[in-house]
Amino acid sequence: MKIILDTNFLIYCAKEKLDYLENLQNLLNEDFELVVPLQVIKELKMLRDDKLKKVKGKDKEACSLALKLLDANNVKSVKVKGDTVDEGIINLANEGKGNIVCTLDRGMRKILPRVILLNKNRQLIVAR
């Protein structure tokens, strides 16, 4: 089973200092492979290096920390097919049975068969 990480999930976890790897291990109690689409990495770098000054300090720091954590946790980067990042994530999620996406995106949560999200207590939960 692949656990696919989305940009907004990674940024939120970095901002809130949440250890998503440990939380996923506790939640799932089974083997899984953490993957991040190359487009998500590109998006994080673009936000971190924002030249237009649209992204503020804490968000830039969160993007930088998210990238460091991906490296530290040896998260596998994968190329996905799709015109947008979200489309690529949806395609990857549908490739294998049991794949789950970690996202805070409401639109994606409605489309995907299984997602991991955060509840009000900042705990990870599996929806569907």
Alpha carbon 24 to its chain centroid, in Å, reads 12
Q: Are 41 and 67 spatial neighbours (Cβ–Cβ below 8 Å)?
A: yes
- Tokens (6 digits) for 32: 């899984």
Query: pLDDT band at 96, cuts 50/70/90?
Result: confident
The CA-atom distances, in angstroms, between 8 and each of 5, 30, 81, 97, 108 are 9, 24, 19, 24, 12
| pLDDT exceeds 80 at position 97 | yes
Residue 121, classed as helix, strand or coil, is coil
| pLDDT over 90 at 56, yes or no | no
What confidence tier does 52 reach under pLDDT thresholds 50, 70, 90?
Answer: low
Tokens of 12: 């939120």
pLDDT band at 105 (very low <50, low <70, confident <90, very high): very high
Q: The whole model's pTM is what?
A: 0.91
Query: Is the pLDDT at 68 greater than 70, yes or no?
Result: yes
Cβ atoms of 109 and 69 closer than 8 Å? no
